[in-house]
Amino acid sequence: MSLLIQETQQPREYQLPKGTNPHPVPTDTPPLTSEAALHFLSNLNNSAPTTITPSYWSLTPSVGQAQNTSPPPKTQWTKSRRTVTDVHGTYDVTLLTPAGLMTLQEEGELFDLIAKLNPFLAEPVKMFVWNQAKGGAYNPKHHSVHLGRQPFSPTIRLMDQNRAAMVHEMGHGLYQKGAFSQDADWDVVFRMALGHGNYEVIDDSTYLNISDLVGHPFANENEAFASAVHAYFLQADAFRDCLFNPQVPTSRRRFGQLVWLYMRDRVFKGQVFTSDGQDPLKNSDFASVLSKMNPDHWSSLRAALNDQEEQVQKSALDQLILLGSESVPVIAELVTVLRTARSPRRRQAARVLGLIGGPAAPLAVPALLELVAGPGELLRLVAIRTLGELGPEAIHAVPALIEAASEDSVNIRQAAQQALQQIVP
């Protein structure tokens, strides 16, 4: 039997001593960071205060760090609790919200959503705190979810945003507390997400009908997983429509079908969440579809290296660093990045080329020599070290390295001498 408890005790205040200058906050009254707030709030009981004046801090969803501001108004906190029994046993789920933020009906809807998703997690999420300005965050230390008090846009209801953010952040918990962060198959799925804008089919913004303010599934495997959980679990009907909509590019539809199968077969134990209970891919399974699509991840990574979105390019390079010497199919694209991208991406591309070694030399050596002759000591060092990693195949770089080995810079000299020893043992 579920129990909803609404705190009604006489409020007390938690605030800095009178007359205290908040810049900096005195050592005897530590700032109420998100973790301190969680610790304080999660220990509320029948005799504890339900009104809190945080120390002088604000939390931005993009940066996630405390910033000094003018003193905020007191926050009246409401604690609601429901007792749940599921595969994890019997436990309490707690929502800590600013008073008046939601109706009891809305709280009930969120409790129902949590109770529906928690059984699929290796460990249930029990604490939800509305201490973000906007958006949401998952705290792996406390296995808690933090949500926003304001909508991203006037075009979205706060309740709709809360539902989406809650599922997305619980998706992070599912990924990090389960075995999915170690699943090589999901790594392949993520690589396929990067090219041709395939990630758009699981992007949270796609289903919230707002500009691209939320969701960044191209950032890493964890973010892609959380967005996929949101699409499959909460937006099942719309997600299904995308999979067979001829207006959606073919590569995105095929990628979306792969994600659907992964979520169904690996994450949600065969369950589908469409309103009519119908599974459009009931005659397919993830393993067989992946085996047919597996070569596509090279095409996807190749496209991602040419993407105008730098974060997509960065994620692709991160994946190639993990693949190391297997990255031969994208040598040409790596050389293009080496010549045209911003310095951080050039350094990443050079690292991948060095991991590939000799097979990359014919295309890579001329581009690396351009960097050796160019400005910027850090980029020159990276290029010199990469030439050494290419080994004897980089023999044409020897004259430039001999010249570099006599420069005034100690770092350049040493790197060039080491590279020469690798090329001409």
The alpha carbon dihedral of 237, 198, 220, 320 has a sign of positive
Sketch the domain layout of the chain as residue ranges. Answer: 5-157, 180-294, 324-423
> For position 14, what pLDDT does the model report?
28
- Superfamily of domain 324-423, CATH level 4: Leucine-rich Repeat Variant (1.25.10.10)
| Spatial CB neighbours of 76, under 8 Å, sequence gap ≥ 6 | 11, 50, 51, 98, 99, 100
From the list 220, 273, 118, 175, the residue with the least C-alpha distance to 128 is 118
Measured distance CA(23)–CA(270) in Å, rounded: 54
> For position 155, what pLDDT does the model report?
79
User: Can you say how many angstroms the Cα of residue 260 is from the centroid of all Cα atoms in its chain?
Assistant: 19
Three-state SS for 127? strand
Q: DSSP labels for 156-197?
A: S-HHHHHHHHHHHHHHHHHHHHSSGGG-HHHHHHHHHHHGGG
Measured distance CA(105)–CA(163) in Å, rounded: 13
> For position 51, what pLDDT does the model report?
35
H/E segment holding residue 242: helix 236-243
> For position 156, what pLDDT does the model report?
83
Number of Cβ atoms within 10 Å of the Cβ of 35: 12
The conformational region for residue 394 under phi > 0 = left, psi -120 to 50 = alpha, else beta, is: alpha
**In 31-157, which ranges are continuous DSSP H helix?**
34-42, 104-117
> For position 296, what pLDDT does the model report?
78
Ranges of the chain with pLDDT below 50: 1-70
* Amino acid occupying residue 20: T
Question: 52 to each of 41, 100, 142, 145, 322, how far by Cα in Å?
Answer: 9, 15, 20, 19, 46
Burial class (CB in 10 A: 0-12, 13-18, 19+), 98: middle
> For position 292, what pLDDT does the model report?
86
The conformational region for residue 363 under phi > 0 = left, psi -120 to 50 = alpha, else beta, is: alpha
> For position 152, what pLDDT does the model report?
79
> For position 210, what pLDDT does the model report?
61
Three-state SS for 81? strand
Question: 76 to each of 13, 30, 131, how far by Cα in Å?
Answer: 9, 20, 12
